């Protein structure tokens, strides 16, 4: 099975994530569709994915990724370098999929395993 999600940044860079057995990564394209780079690999560590299923781009062009298989939300800079996780420890995720950012600094996550939407503080 191959699943894909995509998002375009305010500067016209297109981000496409895909997962299948391998690879679990993000691909980055320019506005004309030319391949620029990719980042991420299969696994559980920082910057690794186990079925990435949702992507959003914040006002600073950071890339926010829902990592379904690892039950977490990761944050990367525009170059694909890992920055942080969104703290979900108080209300854990189980199968995060789609996500969206609100103007007041929250991330709304579709939590498929818990059959609900969850809201977390994102920007401090």
Q: What is the pLDDT of residue 72?
A: 96
**How long, in residues, is the chain?**
124
Q: Between the CA of residue 36 and those of 17, 32, 51, 64, 110, what are the distances in Å?
A: 14, 11, 22, 18, 29
User: Are the beta carbons of 37 and 54 closer than 8 angstroms?
Assistant: no
For β-strands 14-19 and 63-67, DSSP reports them as unpaired
Q: What is the pLDDT of residue 1?
A: 40
Q: What is the pLDDT of residue 4?
A: 45
Distance CA 82, CA 11 (A): 20
Mean pLDDT per 10-residue segment, the chain (124 residues): 48 55 66 79 91 87 90 92 93 93 92 95 75
Contacts 24+ apart (CB under 8 A), 71-74: 71/95, 71/96, 71/113, 72/96, 73/99, 73/107, 73/109, 73/120, 74/46, 74/47, 74/49
Q: Please provide residue 23's backbone torsions phi and psi, each rounded to the nearest 5 degrees.
A: -90, 160
């Amino acid at each position: 099975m191959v699943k894909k999600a995509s998002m375009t940044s305010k500067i016209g860079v297109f981000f496409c994530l895909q997962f299948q057995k391998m690879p679990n990564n993000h691909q980055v394209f320019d506005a004309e569709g030319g391949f620029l780079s990719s980042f991420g690999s299969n696994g559980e560590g920082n910057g690794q994915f186990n079925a990435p299923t949702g992507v959003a781009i914040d006002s600073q062009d950071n890339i926010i990724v829902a990592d379904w298989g690892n039950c977490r939300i990761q944050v990367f800079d525009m170059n694909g370098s890992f920055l942080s996780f969104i703290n979900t420890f108080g209300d854990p995720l189980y199968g995060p999929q789609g996500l969206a950012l609100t103007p007041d600094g929250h991330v709304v996550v579709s939590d498929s395993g818990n059959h609900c939407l969850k809201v977390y503080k994102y920007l401090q």
